Structure 1
Amino acid sequence: MDAAAPDHYAICEAQLRERDRDVWLASLFAPHPARRHIHAVYAFAQECAEAPAKVSQPLLGEMRLRWWTDALSGPDSEAARAHPVADALLDTMRRFSLPLDELTALADAHVADLYDDQMPDVGTLEDYCRMTSAAPMRWAARILGAEPSPAMEDAGVALGLARVLRRPSGPLIPADLLAKHGATIHANAPPLRAALAELRDMALARYESARRAARGLAIGREALLPAALVPVYLERMTRKDYDPLRGLPEPSPLRRQWRLWRAARGVGL
């Protein structure tokens, strides 16, 4: 098979820079030969995550996500090779033997987002985070030549939980956690804040576990860098002006860049 068109990799980077600047900044610390492949896997993850916002009906979103699973699972097609992200991803998959089942599982996991159904329990939410946030970290680590590590899973779950808490339409809180605190997702009241605080503590505990595990990594630490911003976002929940029904406000770009720079040099995650 011919390699992906170079401009298709460039499109993946441009897309990531525009729509997920945190991940794009984190990727800059990866060695240059690996960087474009990391762009490809994260551009794919972004395409799947944004599917609900691009459709007017859930069925259309399911069709969009099904296109991805078909494109990755079937033989090369002109449609897949013409799509910049799909073309770059297919090339990256073959070069680094990325696991097809994990790639398709990521697309399938985002079907739940189309219906915005409440997750039944914390375990289900953590599984969702493993498929949607931890998996791209594992792929990035493989691209960097690193062996699998518990740090990837813990960092990915921490990042996924932080993303749930940052949702602009309000956090997606599991039903068992709401019931534990007697909270409702539609009322900005102390019970809801208590449920969110527990979810925040889970994310921070995962982050700390990842940080400890990362100390033993000889290579592949760059794959963990997107999770370095987890504490920066979650500390916004302690501010007096935090409104849980509106998601978390963005920290300043300068502060995020500074945090990533320190983490890339071994200060922090």
Structure 2
Amino acid sequence: MAENTKLVMETVRAADHDRYLTALYAPEDKRDPLFSLYAFNAEIAGIRDRIHEALPGEVRLQWWRDVIAAEEDGAEVGHPVADALKATISAHHLPKAAFENMLEARIFDLYDDPMPSRSDLEGYCGETAAALIQLAAMVLDPVAAPRFAELAGRAGCAQAMTGLLLLLPLHRERGQCFVPADILAAAGSSPEEFVTGDGGPGAERAAAATIALAREHLSAFEQGASALPVSLRPAFLPLALSGAYLDKMERARRSPVKEVARLSVLRRHWLLFRRATRGWPVA
């Protein structure tokens, strides 16, 4: 295995272990392209954690735009993840616009502006997690993938919202609020109170409403998931964990506002194995 390939795989294993596990269920010749997509996602999702300041973060996002937009698809830039991604885009004819939209959405991560509304949150999830699922599906089976674009949208919303709920304590600590302002208002709270308050009843109700929203999208995904061909399952496997994470949040003694819900490694392996081998039952 080439050194760069190892570096890309290790990037995913370290930064996004759940997606790393899902890629192992893909055919061997599809794993490296999937790792390149997931490593790219980890790179841009982690910009705020590494750089901390918004303007340098935007510069980094622009660097990725320039790399992806470059006409010389085969030209290497000396960055293992970027080179692997460019090779994947070229080999699998992936739409560069999807990456541009993903990078544009990630600007939100760099600032402390509140998420305005439920529809804005769904748009953010669509441009990030849903787009990543669809791109992975195009790598796995370009013929079947377009038929499941709508399902990828639902899956991405469910998976991204679950991920954001898991990050609530971290986001509150650094002054971010991904819980939509309209949901907070309906719960008797506000973005400012949610971030700086003590996580009281309003924050609890808002978190519960966001869990319900994630479940709504997860349920819609599961309604159609039984139709997924085996070839596309690895792209959607992160959804095998979403329901279990949401269950854990609802049953935990402490609120997801204050404590991160966790699944054991054994539990995650079992859930992924079950869906990878059996698929989703008819809902």
TM-score of the superposed pair, with normalisation by structure 2:
0.88
Counterpart mapping for 1:132-211 below 5 A: 132-145=128-141, 146-148=144-146, 149=148, 150-167=150-167, 168-170=170-172, 172-183=178-189, 184-185=193-194, 186-211=197-222
Counterparts of 2:101 and 2:209, CA distance in 1: 27
1:77 CA displacement: 9.0
1:251 pairs, out of 249, 263, 269, with: 263
Go from structure 1 to structure 2 and tell me whether the alpha carbon gap of 1:77 and 1:89 turns closer, same or farther (over 3 Å shift): closer
Q: Which amino acid aligns with 1:143?
A: V
Unaligned runs of 5+ in 2: none
1:79 CA displacement: 9.1
Counterparts of 1:79 and 1:221, CA distance in 2: 32
1:221 CA displacement: 1.7
Runs of 4+ off more than 4 Å = 77-80
- Are the equivalent residues in 2 in contact too, given 1:52–1:58 (CA < 8 A)? yes
Q: Which amino acid aligns with 2:212?
A: D
- Are the equivalent residues in 1 in contact too, given 2:118–2:183 (CA < 8 A)? yes
Higher mean C-alpha deviation, range 200-209 or range 114-123: 200-209
Q: Count the aligned residue pairs.
A: 265
- Are the equivalent residues in 2 in contact too, given 1:169–1:245 (CA < 8 A)? no
* 1:152-185 alpha-carbon deviations (Å, 9 max, x no partner): 1111110110111111234621111101111231
Corresponding position of 1:238: 250
2:34 aligned with 1:8: no
2:227 pairs, out of 216, 223, 228, with: 216
Counterparts of 2:22 and 2:73, CA distance in 1: 32
Unaligned runs of 5+ in 1: none
- Percent of residue pairs identical: 33
- Partner SS for 1:265: helix
Counterparts of 2:74 and 2:155, CA distance in 1: 36
* 1:57-84 alpha-carbon deviations (Å, 9 max, x no partner): 1101001111000110023499952000
Corresponding position of 2:32: 36
Counterparts of 2:250 and 2:220, CA distance in 1: 22
- Partner SS for 1:182: coil
Counterparts of 1:121 and 1:78, CA distance in 2: 41
Pairwise CA RMSD of aligned residues?
2.0
Counterparts of 1:165 and 1:30, CA distance in 2: 27
Q: Which amino acid aligns with 2:155?
A: A
Q: Which amino acid aligns with 1:162?
A: T
Higher mean C-alpha deviation, range 229-238 or range 61-70: 229-238
Q: Which amino acid aligns with 2:272?
A: L
Q: Which amino acid aligns with 2:271?
A: R
* 1:206-227 alpha-carbon deviations (Å, 9 max, x no partner): 1122122121122312210012
- Partner SS for 1:244: coil
Counterparts of 1:262 and 1:78, CA distance in 2: 38
TM-score of the superposed pair, with normalisation by structure 1:
0.92
2:103 aligned with 1:107: yes
Go from structure 1 to structure 2 and tell me whether the alpha carbon gap of 1:161 and 1:221 turns closer, same or farther (over 3 Å shift): same
1:6 CA displacement: 3.8
Corresponding position of 2:53: 57
Q: Which amino acid aligns with 1:131?
A: E
- Partner SS for 1:15: helix
Counterparts of 1:239 and 1:176, CA distance in 2: 25
